[in-house]
Amino acid sequence: MDPARTAKQRIFLGREGDEALRSKRVCVVGLGATGSVIAPWLVRAGVGHVTLIDRDLVELSNLQRQLLYDEDCLGAPKAEAAAARLARANPEVELRAVVADLTSGNARELLSDFDLICDGTDNFEVRFLINDMAILTGTPWIYAGAIGGEGLVWPIHPPRTPCLRCLMEEPPASGDVDTCDTAGVLGPTVGAIGSWAAMEALKILTGKEPHREIARFDFWENERQFLQPPATRCRFCTERITEFLDARWTLKASPLCGLEGVQIRVNPPGALDLALLQGRLQARTGSPWQLAPMLLRGEDGPNRITLFSDGRALVHGPMTPERARGWYAEVVGC
């Protein structure tokens, strides 16, 4: 990598710290609002390899705070749009875009061989999978969450530090937590939280001890707290029990938060033959279905449907989760 690229960073970190980043491999899970801030800081800093995992497509309501995307990206998979944008910021970093839903069926494969995993999701199911991988492999990870005007950052590295399950044994019930869909979120909140998380990432990657407390900021109410992590360790990280990685399920259909629609997920993720399904769906619906790399899109009655090559589907329209499940089983087979 051309040393001129990171000259100002090198003055601060020193040559050794700057060059240490070149050999590091980082995974950013979730390229929404916080991931959109974390990933560019790492790529621009010259981290050797960055894997970008996201299952979603860019929507208009993302542009208010998801800095990696613009109007040209609408409808594109976030992981791919992010990789294309970041490759222009620093073409010397090896980037890998993964358009996939992280599940117990693929987490071992997708989250192995990294020096650090950064949480850019807003999803406890995924955070508990990352925490299990950290317990299993000893990989450090950084929790980052933002909602409204507040956010939280916590670097986690079991067994050296407590794990997420030491703080909360189970993911909160979905009705118990505010989400961006119920509480909303301001763009600068995720900007500040994502940057804080990226700062902790640079410490970890250059061998400096990260902040061991749970940092909570309410930027809107001008409050900050540094909370001590739990003093006692849970049995999951002390005995290396990885319940979430070991969970098995096959087909889930759940309503999409805040939007009229259903998401269908498959575990373990499969590999759909989208070209074959294109023919089948065109015959079934009598309308054209568009095939793009990794996805197939079309309409069945009043429902707009996107099928992904990893087996997922998004249904926008009046279809209920139960009917969507039936539709999927009938059309795709399962």
DSSP string computed for 121-132: -S-HHHHHHHHH
Closer residue to Zn ion, CB minimum distance, 169 or 221: 169
- The reply to whether 163 sits near Zn ion by the rule CB under 5 A is yes
The residues near 51 (Cβ < 8 Å, ≥ 6 apart) are: 25, 26, 27, 28, 95, 96, 98, 110, 114
Own/partner contacts of 135-140, CB < 8 Å, gap of 24 or more, are: 135/159, 135/163, 135/236, 135/237, 135/240, 135/241, 135/242, 136/108, 136/240, 136/242, 136/245, 137/111, 137/112, 139/111, 139/114, 139/115, 140/115, 140/116, 140/204, 140/210
Q: Is 166 in the site for Zn ion (CB under 5 A)?
A: yes
What separation in angstroms does the CA of 37 have from each of 62, 291, 319?
A: 13, 31, 35
Q: In the complex with Zn ion, which residue's Cβ is closer, 57 or 237?
A: 237
**Least distance (Å) between residue 166 CB and Zn ion:** 4
Q: Is the peptide bond before 172 cis (omega within 30 degrees of 0)?
A: no
Interface with Zn ion, residue 165, by CB under 5 A: yes
Q: How far is the CB of 129 from Zn ion (least distance, A)?
A: 15
Residues 277/259, Cβ–Cβ less than 8 Å? no
Considering the complex, what minimum distance in angstroms separates the CB of residue 106 from Zn ion? 23
257 is catalytic: no
Q: Is 116 in the site for Zn ion (CB under 5 A)?
A: no
Residues in contact with 271: Cβ distance below 8 Å, sequence separation at least 6, in sequence order: 309, 310, 311
The verdict on 234 binding Zn ion (CB under 5 A) reads yes
Question: Cα 213 vs. chain centroid, distance in angstroms?
Answer: 23
End-to-end CA distance of the chain: 47
Kindly tell me which of 229 and 321 has the beta carbon lying closer to Zn ion. 229
- At residue 299, φ and ψ (nearest 5 deg) are -125, 140
Does 127 interact with Zn ion (rule: CB under 5 A)?
no
Give me the residue label for tokens 């399904």.
277
- Nearer to Zn ion by Cβ, of 102 and 163: the residue is 163
Number of residues near Zn ion (by CB under 5 A): 5
From the CB of 237, what's the least distance to Zn ion, in Å?
3
Window contacting Zn ion (CB under 5 A); options: 17-25, 166-174, 207-215, 258-266: 166-174
Catalytic residue among 27, 73, 163, 180: 180
**Which C-beta is closer to Zn ion: that of 157 or that of 165?**
165
Nearer to Zn ion, 165 or 312 (CB): 165
Shortest approach of Zn ion to residue 230 CB, angstroms? 8
x/- letters, 180..219, toward Zn ion (CB under 5 A)? ----------------------------------------
Asked if residue 130 binds Zn ion (CB under 5 A), the reply is no
> Scanning residues 241 to 260, which ones bind Zn ion (CB under 5 A)?
none
Out of 21, 57, 79, 237, name the contact with Zn ion by CB under 5 A.
Answer: 237
Residue positions annotated with a catalytic role: 180
Binding residues for Zn ion (CB under 5 A): 163, 165-166, 234, 237
